[in-house]
Amino acid sequence: MGKANVAVFISGSGSNLNSLIKFSLKKNSKFRISLIVSNNSKALGLKYAKLFNIKKKIINYKSKRLMEKGLINKLQKERIDIICLAGFMKIISKNFIKKFDGMILNIHPSLLPKYKGLNTHFRAISNKDRYSGCTVHLVNHKLDGGKIISQKKVKILKKDTPKSLASRILKQEHVLYSKTLNKILFNL
């Protein structure tokens, strides 16, 4: 199989998108980033579309059904093999997930199944956990509930705040996501 076509969905800064793009340019990469999708036309991560000359699609959740139809067409037109959610803050419909079942990955900033949802770092610190980390998982209809593919543990330090822990975990997300995606594609 040649390189897989990956679509990355973002809503914000796109630091995970940036790390996926950087990895995709390496010799041993099994994927290329063919499309960047954002629900936010002002997402800072869209700068990477310009910088690396990657196609982008802004989706408007106001007309969900119409949006989804256009999005599915675009994904099929670009022959997308895998969808990577990366800081994507919208819920995807059951219909969409069914259509791309087993092809949607997400990176979540906790050691799932602990701390699904938001404010993961605050919750881990408040619970005096010794470790937190990040998880790459398949996306199914349950929020942050799909099959866990890989995880990276990060020690919580006594002096950690949610902010300091978040930045240390984010760095590990950048490594884990590309490595996991490449491994999945290598074993296909």
- CA dist 128 and 96 (Å) reads 38
Q: What are the φ and ψ backbone dihedral angles of 54, each rounded to 5 degrees?
A: -110, 135
Binding site for ligand GRF (CB under 6 A): 10, 12-17, 45, 86-87, 107, 109, 170, 173
Q: Of the two residues 71 and 84, which places its CB atom closer to ligand GRF in the complex?
A: 84
Given the residues 108, 121, 137, 174, the one annotated as active site: 108
Identify whether 174 is a catalytic site residue. Answer: no
Q: Of the two residues 109 and 146, which places its CB atom closer to ligand GRF in the complex?
A: 109
Q: Of the two residues 66 and 118, which places its CB atom closer to ligand GRF in the complex?
A: 118
Amino acid occupying residue 72: I
Q: Minimum distance between the CB of residue 76 and ligand GRF, rounded to whole angstroms? A: 25
- CA dist 83 and 35 (Å) reads 9
Residue nearest ligand GRF by beta-carbon distance? 87
User: 104-108 and 131-138 as β-strands: parallel, antiparallel, unpaired?
Assistant: antiparallel
Residue corresponding to tokens 């997300």 = 173
Residues noted as catalytic: 108
